Structures are given as structure tokens and as C-alpha cells.
Amino acid sequence: MSTTDAQNGDIMSIPGAEDQIDPATFEQILEMDEDEEEREFSKSIVYDFFGQADQTFKKMDKELEKKEGKYLKELSELGHFLKGSSATLGLTKVKDSCEKIQHYGQLKDDAGTKDITEEQAQENLGKIIKQAKKEFADVKDILKEFYKDDDEA
């Protein structure tokens, strides 16, 4: 990757981006920017997502720790919410992991087709939430590099 490519708006030139981001979907977001240098519109959408994801992962941790009441239903709904937001931006790995969170919360396997026990769901949820957080951190770094932002978001 050359720094020039990233500066010219080619997010896929950033190492790791090809595994994390669907270029066609993300490009649609970029097309809404009025200024290709500043990219204020797309940056605001992406940074709003950062905040949403951080809050959602905190809620997931709380629900998983609680393990009472309708916590599985809540985890499923949180997974569904984050799946939609990440899909809108083309964040494929985060979207796929959030879909699994949604399924496990419904006591289904990762494909959403077979029933699993609550114990299996708890074990799977612990692993997949940790994985989703790592994928989110990775894609967040890529996006911050794309937007040339070294500050903490």
C-alpha cells in the first residue's frame, strides 16, 4: 500500500481492509461525500457507528454477565442491531459475527438452523462477542487510518 492510495480515497489499499470491508458497499457511503478531501458526511456516519458499537458491546457484556431473565433475547436483539449497522457500512466480519450473536441469542447454531442448549449458547456467545470486539477494533483502526485520524474515537 502506498500512503498516496489511502490519501486518494482507496480504503482497500490499507492493509487488512480487504478482509474486513466490502468495497462496493463502503464506496456507496463515500459517494455521498461532497468533498473527497474532508469526507465529512461519511466520516460522521462511521464515527457514529464507532459510538454505537462501543455502547452495544458494553450492553452485551452486561447481559452475558447477568445470565438472567430475557438476557438471551436481549443479546439476540443487540446482535441484530449491530449486524444492521455494520452491514450498512460494509463491515463484513463484524456483520457476520453479529449475525451469530443474534442466532445464539435465539438458541440456534451459527447458521440459525439448528437448536442449541442455553449452555451452548452462553459458551458460544462468550467466544463470538470477544471475536466481534476484536474485529471491530481492527476495522476501527483501518477506518481511522483512512480518515487520517490518529486521535482516540
Tell me the per-residue pLDDT of 33-84, one tens digit each, with 9 for 90 and over.
999 888 999 999 999 999 999 999 999 999 999 888 899 999 999 999 999 9
Quick check: is 109 in a domain? yes
Amino acid at the residue 90: G
In the predicted model, is pLDDT for residue 98 greater than 60?
Answer: yes
Does a structural domain hold residue 88? yes
The pTM score is: 0.88
Q: Which of 8, 45, 7, 40 is nearest to 26 (CA)?
A: 45
Note the pLDDT of residue 133. Answer: 98
The domain containing residue 59 runs over which residues? 3-32+39-146
Report the domain count for the chain: 1
Residue 99 lies in a domain: yes
Q: What CATH number is attached to the domain comprising 83?
A: 1.20.120.160
DSSP 8-state secondary structure symbol assigned to residue 115? B
Q: Give phi and psi for 150, each to the nearest 5.
A: -90, -10
